[in-house]
């Protein structure tokens, strides 16, 4: 799915229009016990509540593609015989009215709860053992012949209906006891611990919305933490092998570069690679109908060659990349470089530079010692105080 596809489906989650028919939910305790289940028609719900539910579902369609939003592809065999794919299709076909299918789905998610709880990075305010979970699902049948006045999609319309389910799995965390105002008494008294629903940890859209139609061979999986792809959830719900997390991809790619280039892994080369790939990312993002940029092994070698890397080191990169990712792997470009960040670290100093001005930094050896030099034209401030630089 591209930016335009995500935007079009997000617009369907408008609390004022109430396009979705129902919200189904399952409240699960931290030890995997079902506390309650419910089915709420949107037409009978207070506006404030609809807004909060829609905000949760919208979050599952937000974030960075290839980091928070990951395509999960089903094989042809899975679409024909796979029980996981069949269950998703049953949920969609019944518009979430098939109680047996819904309860089976809840059971699969509940089976993942303990693994999710152990993997989640808990804040200091919440006790990991006390964290419950809320499983939410909604259904929508989107008439593609309808043209929203804000719709940026092409005017040429199909008469098809895009029917989909959207799922969010949210931690429910206890608040701290605190003093609160009681209007009836006009006084402040202790308010006991309450349970609050947090934004989703994981979620998904099925099927994917591509070229204004349903792609039943793909689901779009959302993870709040790009460093955690929740392997157990992906295996249980989709029956597929989880992808390498974005943070792991970046660390592995950086290690491959460093090991392959060795002494040629200079500041100049890294500046050139960062600038080239960042430019490619920004150009692709400008086209909202384009898929997120992915680079092959050969694409990266072309970038290295243009950055002045020798053939010997490019051959070494070829080998290291194949060992780490596979010869035909395509890596999301955003997992190779961070376009809006250029950072130089030493054991004692960290330098953050606007990537557009990374050329202001250079390395030099003076009297046998290595230095990082930063051009200091213009105002220079230390702790907010302008200082002068003498001769």
Residues 321 and 349 in one domain: no
In angstroms, the CA 11 to CA 6 distance is 9
**Which pLDDT tens digit goes with each residue over 331-371?**
999 999 888 888 888 888 888 888 888 888 888 899 998 88
Domain that holds residue 377: 341-391
Query: Of the candidates 340, 360, 377, which is a domain's last residue?
Result: 340
Looking at the structure of the chain, the number of domains it has is 3
The answer to whether the CB of 354 falls within 8 A of the CB of 294 is: no
The pTM assigned to this predicted structure is 0.84
DSSP per residue over 207-235, as a string?
SEEETTEEETTEEEEEESSTT---HHHHH
Neighbours of 215 (CB within 10 A): 17
166 and 305 both lie in a single domain: no
The pLDDT > 90 percentage for the chain reads: 53
Q: pLDDT digit string (tens) for 226-238? A: 888 899 999 999 9
- Contact status, residue 199 vs residue 59, Cβ threshold 8 Å: yes
- Check whether residue 47 and residue 91 sit in a common domain: yes
- The verdict on 362 and 267 lying in the same domain is no
Residue-level pLDDT at 390: 77
Mean pLDDT for the chain overall:
88
Whether residue 159 sits in one domain with residue 47: yes
**What are the beta bridge partners of residue 164?**
140
Q: What DSSP element (H or E) covers 350?
A: strand 350-353
Are 201 and 346 within one domain? Answer: no
């Amino acid at each position: 799915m591209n930016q335009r596809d995500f935007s079009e489906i997000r617009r369907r989650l408008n609390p004022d229009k109430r396009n979705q028919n129902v919200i189904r939910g399952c409240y699960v305790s931290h030890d995997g016990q079902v506390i309650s289940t419910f089915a709420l028609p949107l037409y009978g719900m207070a506006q404030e509540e609809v807004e909060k539910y829609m905000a949760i579902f919208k979050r599952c369609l937000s974030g960075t593609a290839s980091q928070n939003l990951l395509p999960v592809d089903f094989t042809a065999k899975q679409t024909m015989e796979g029980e996981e794919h069949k269950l998703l299709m049953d949920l969609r076909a019944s518009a979430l009215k098939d109680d047996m299918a819904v309860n089976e789905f809840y059971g699969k998610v509940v089976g993942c709860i303990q693994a999710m709880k152990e993997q989640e990075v808990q804040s200091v305010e919440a006790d990991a053992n006390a964290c419950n979970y809320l499983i939410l699902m909604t259904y929508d049948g989107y008439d593609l012949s309808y043209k929203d006045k804000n719709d940026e999609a092409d005017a040429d319309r199909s008469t098809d209906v895009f029917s989909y389910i959207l799922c969010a799995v949210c931690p429910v965390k206890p608040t701290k006891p605190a003093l609160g105002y009681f209007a009836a008494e006009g006084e402040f008294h202790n308010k006991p611990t309450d349970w609050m629903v947090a934004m989703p940890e994981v979620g998904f859209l099925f099927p994917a919305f591509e070229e204004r139609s349903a792609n039943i061979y793909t689901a779009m999986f959302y993870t709040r933490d790009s460093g955690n792809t929740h392997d157990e959830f992906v295996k249980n719900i989709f029956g597929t092998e989880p992808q390498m997390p974005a943070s792991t991809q970046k660390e592995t790619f950086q290690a491959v570069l460093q090991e392959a280039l060795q002494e040629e892994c200079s500041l100049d080369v890294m500046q050139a690679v960062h600038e080239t790939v960042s430019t490619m990312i920004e150009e692709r993002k400008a086209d909202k109908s384009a898929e997120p940029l992915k680079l092959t092994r050969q694409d990266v070698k072309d970038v290295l060659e243009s950055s002045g890397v020798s053939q010997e080191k490019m051959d070494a990169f070829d080998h290291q990349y194949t060992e780490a990712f596979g010869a035909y792997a395509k890596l999301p470009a955003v997992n190779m470089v961070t376009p809006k960040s250029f950072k130089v670290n030493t054991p004692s100093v960290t330098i953050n530079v606007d990537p557009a001005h990374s050329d202001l930094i250079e390395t030099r050896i003076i009297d046998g010692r290595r230095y990082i030099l930063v051009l200091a034209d213009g105002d220079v401030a230390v702790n907010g105080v302008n200082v002068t630089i003498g001769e």
